[in-house]
Amino acid sequence: DPLNPVELIPLVELAPSPFTDGALVELLKGWLRALGRIPVTLNKHVPGNVANRIAAAVWREAIDLVLNGVMDVDDLDRAVSLGPALSWAAAGPHLTYQLAAGNKGLDGFLQHLLHTFENTWADLATWSRLEPEQRSRLIHAIERTYQDTVEELRPLRDKRLGGILRSLERTRRTMATRYEQEE
């Protein structure tokens, strides 16, 4: 689950039905914010909700790259955590590309680079089932890379995550105010 550890991850996805009173959703958002959580609202139901879907897409590609020998597990984890994950933690995927567009604007950015993305998208993994042999290879590769026990690794991850969250919180208030004004 990408929202793990739940006690540290502030995101809460709200999935109201079309019949849910909007005032109730707003009340719940306020309550969640008061608890230090950051609610987002799904406009319609999708299996797995949003964060899980994005994480599943990224992880499938990460698995595929490891199983095809493109990169080792530890380098792949560094490539994600020190690459797109940092940008996305600060701004999310859409704002990251909007900011990358600069003065050209997103339309100019896409006119210049869309073909590059389309070529990459065409080459991404599309499988929907991890075969038993692939599963075994993946488990072996991850366990070989991270030989420490979960009890040793979890506090290190949580400490790092806590530092990232504290840093983000220092700037989040400004961005959150802007996002809330746009809602």
Residue 162 falls inside a structural domain: no
Residue 1 falls inside a structural domain: yes
Of the residues 13, 118, 131, 169, only one is catalytic, namely 13
Give per-residue pLDDT as tens, 33-79. Answer: 999 999 999 999 999 999 999 999 999 999 999 999 999 999 999 99
Phi and psi torsions of 163, nearest 5°: -65, -40
pTM to 2 decimal places: 0.86
- Let me know whether 61 and 31 are in one domain: no
Range of the domain at 111: 49-147
Contact status, residue 50 vs residue 42, Cβ threshold 8 Å: yes
pLDDT the model gives residue 1 = 72
- Let me know whether 41 and 59 are in one domain: no
- Let me know whether 35 and 58 are in one domain: no
Q: What does the alpha-carbon distance between residue 41 and residue 39 come to, in Å, rounded to a whole number?
A: 7
Q: Is 118 a catalytic residue?
A: no
Give per-residue pLDDT as tens, 106-138. Answer: 999 999 999 999 999 999 999 999 999 999 999
